[in-house]
Amino acid sequence: MLRFLLCALLPLAGLAQAQELLLNSFESEDDLAVIVPRDTKVRPTEKGVTHGTRALEIEFSRVAFPALFFRPAAPLDLREWGEIAYDITNTGNAPVRFNVRVDDDYRPDGVGTSRNGVGTLEPGATATFVFPLANRDPLAFGMRGLPTGPDARNLGSTGTHILNLASIAQMQIFLPSPTEPITLILDNLRLRKAFPLERIVDRFGQFAPATWPGKLTADEDFPARRATEEAFLSTTGTFGGRSLYGGYAAGPRLEPTGFFRAAKHAGRWWLVDPDGWLFFSTGFNSISLSQTTFTTARESMFTWLPSDTDPLARHYGTATAVQGPIPSGTTYNFQTANLERKYGPSYVEDWRATALARLPAWGFNTIGNWSDPALHRRGVAYVTTASLWGSFNTVPNLGQGTDRLPDPFDPRFATDVNARLLPVLTPALGDPWCLGHFVDNELNWGSTASDRTRYGVALGALAQSAANSPARRALGTLLATRYGAIANLNAAWGTQFADWNALTAPATITAAMRPDLALLTTAYAREYFRVVRDEIRRIDPDHLYLGSRFHINNPDIIAGAAEMTDVLSFNIYQQAIVPANWAILQQLDRPALIGEFHFGALDRGMFHTGLQSTGSQAERAAAFTRYLQSVADHPNFVGAHWFQYTDQALTGRPRDGENYNIGFVTIVDTPYPEMVNAARDLHEGIYLRRLR
């Protein structure tokens, strides 16, 4: 144990300015004393050595979460360091996916004390992996993830906890659930300085210091890539048995209505295309030219930015941020600059035509949220989306942050809803290619984490003045109708309200209050979705109302929405759909559409995986397949839309710094072949899978 602590203070020989510090090279018994195996066998080895004369061989057992822990005698102070580096060798004949975790407590709970990373190593390969310690907040630099050196693979760092780097208690390497014993060799465990942020972006918006398959290195590469893809798109066969709209023309046909609708067939919910064929919706969000990034106060990050006289200077812009160090400033759009390099002056229309050709060639049949409206009415089904604001009263969600929700009982709400919907819905009137309309996105309706979060909307309304809040008056009337006299409510709730005017949100929620608060919460949601539905029907009676894309599942809110929407919608960032978690859909017997999901990896020059991490592009493709198969297998889900079409800007989008590897297409407009192949394979059998 002593050696482990001393090594943490000794710089590696020959490294200027102590850019690395050795933690453990497994050379002595003292080195091994800090190792604690759990369902693993460890032994020194002369194989896979990258530092010194010995390494550590680890055999992971066939159990859930076998692990190897590194536990120093006292917590380590790592505040001066940016990364933990590992040299790992895979001795087997198959790729190995492994996880790392760092804890700042000796009694970790895996969430509130930890951050996690994930990597994949090919058979027979040795590679350096790094775990970013996040001792500098990425958002302080306008990004969600920061780079690591080109000699290493970034494991990423996920979790909500911010590590206390002054007191790192332990580290571990583990496998989730190996199906057979797996052996890895570990060596040269060390600390590294954070990667410098100067000149990290090349002239194409890519990570400058690194190389990887598919990286573009010269303008002259664009014509060849364009020609290759055009040949692919022109020769790729269509998917068998598809209808005009991408439904399943080889399957059952229901009544055609000329527009999309939802219907239940053979125990499963489906969308039905205008010609009556069963339709399972898969598509992309944000098929758009919006991948901008701030340059203001960050000019040193870029190896190239165009001068004011450069023709590519037309891709400068301005933006305002919600989060990050730059409130507002100049932006640059490497995406559109690359498209102009690739397609020339007509790049916008050429890009649109390519996107419209890619979708059916890859098997997708829907243009999702926040996409370029010029893509609509051009032979691919699409959705619209509207956001609501206006002069109506708003209600705080008392259980969750400072978010406020529209007061649907306010007469001004319906007027403002109509005003917001009219310009969005009007272009789709009478168009059979319009799938339907989303209205609002990820409103904070509250979760089931506690009574206050679950009933926060109702509590927020009750807490308002009856004189100023239509919601307060409406919910008070519901309780008055239910109980008659205020004394009856007081007896049931254990409260002492003098009269109905004195009614307010209770400070403590008791078991007796819960049914009433659930009733009020559902009533609030029902009214919100009713008003929106009625205004949609007033403007556009032909198309589906697709809901507001829930990101937190509150059963009382979902129950109200289910009565008023044609299709419920959820943004679900998980590894796959677990049927037990979605029993409410079967209880309500309603169809549901997934508005967002994605997976990312860090093996192609990006800095952050997004909300669901994988270890490589191959793993990302497998995760995409697994997820959509789980959606198709569920009887209530009628489709899922991937977020998003193109990778986000390497140095973060201006709004909030997101810089995720979540595209099917890179910043240089090159599709990821792994994702395209997975999509084609998946879509080839998706309808037969759902009909089985």
What are the chain's domains? 2-192 (2.60.120.430), 221-369+584-691 (3.20.20.80), 385-548 (3.20.20.80)
Taking the C-alpha atoms of residue 497 and residue 399, their distance in angstroms, rounded to an integer, is 22
Residue 127, amino acid: A
Q: Are 686 and 362 in contact (CB under 8 A)?
A: no
Strand ranges for 61-179 from DSSP E: 67-70, 83-90, 96-103, 114-121, 126-132, 153-154, 170-174
Return the structure tokens found at 236: 């790729």
Question: Helix crossing, 470-483 with 486-493: angle to 10°?
Answer: 90
Q: Go through the chain and tell me how many residues it has.
A: 692
Average pLDDT over residues 182-206: 96
Rounded Cα distance, 569 and 596, in Å: 9
Calpha distance 388→401 (Å, rounded)? 20
When comparing pLDDT for 563 and 117, which is higher?
563
pLDDT tens digits along 486-542: 999 999 999 999 999 999 999 999 999 999 999 999 999 999 999 999 999 999 999
At 231 the pLDDT is 96
- Is the pLDDT at 150 greater than 60? The verdict is yes
Two tokens, residue 559: 């129950």
User: Mean pLDDT throughout 123-131?
Assistant: 92
Burial category of 140 from C-beta neighbours within 10 Å (exposed 0-12, middle 13-18, buried 19 and up): exposed
Task: Give the model's pLDDT for residue 18.
Answer: 56
C-beta neighbour count of 183 within 10 angstroms: 17
Strand positions, DSSP E, 12-94 = 20-24, 35-38, 40-45, 55-60, 67-70, 83-90
Is the pLDDT at 258 greater than 80? The verdict is yes
Residue 581 DSSP symbol: G
Helix (H, G, I), strand (E, B) or coil at 367: strand
Q: What is the DSSP letter of 648?
A: P
Mean pLDDT of 206-227: 96
655 by Cβ neighbours in 10 Å (0-12 / 13-18 / 19+) ranks as middle
Q: What is the pLDDT of residue 7?
A: 37
Radius of gyration of the chain (CA): 28
Determine contact, residues 483/477, Cβ cutoff 8 Å.
Answer: no
Q: Is the pLDDT of residue 202 over 60?
A: yes
Residue 108 has pLDDT above 90, yes or no: no
Nearest to 405 by CA among 419, 417, 388: 388
- Averaged pLDDT, 643-655: 98
* Cα 393 from Cα 315, distance rounded (Å): 40
Q: 600 with 566: CB under 8 angstroms? A: no
For the chain, percent of residues with pLDDT exceeding 90: 85
A 10 A CB-CB count for 479 gives 20
Please check whether residue 674 is in contact with residue 618, taking contact to mean a CB–CB distance below 8 angstroms: yes
Query: For the chain, how long is the longest CA-to-CA vector?
Result: 84
CA distance 228 to 88: 37
Contact 319, 307 (CB under 8 A): no
- pTM confidence score: 0.89
Q: What's the CA gap between 55 and 126, in Å, rounded?
A: 12
d(CA 142, CA 254): 51
Q: What is the mean pLDDT of residues 183-205?
A: 96
Q: Quote the mean pLDDT of the chain.
A: 93
With tokens 């927020």, the residue in question is: 460
Burial (CB count <10 Å: 0-12, 13-18, 19+), residue 337: buried
Residue type for position 523: A
- Least Cα distance to 613 among 160, 99, 212, 150 occurs for 99
How many alpha carbons lie under 13 Å from residue 61 in its C-beta half-sphere?
12
- pLDDT at 16 (0 to 100): 36
3-class secondary structure per residue, 266-284: CCEEEEECCCCEEECEEEE
Q: How far apart are the first and last CA of the chain?
A: 59
- Does the pLDDT at position 6 exceed 60? no
Token pair of 49 as six digits = 């050595």
Structure tokens at 603: 């093996």
Distance, CA of 19 to CA of 5 (rounded, Å): 18
Q: Which residues contact 314 (CB under 8 A, 6 or more apart)?
A: none
Helix (H, G, I), strand (E, B) or coil at 265: strand
- Average pLDDT of the segment spanning 309-315: 98
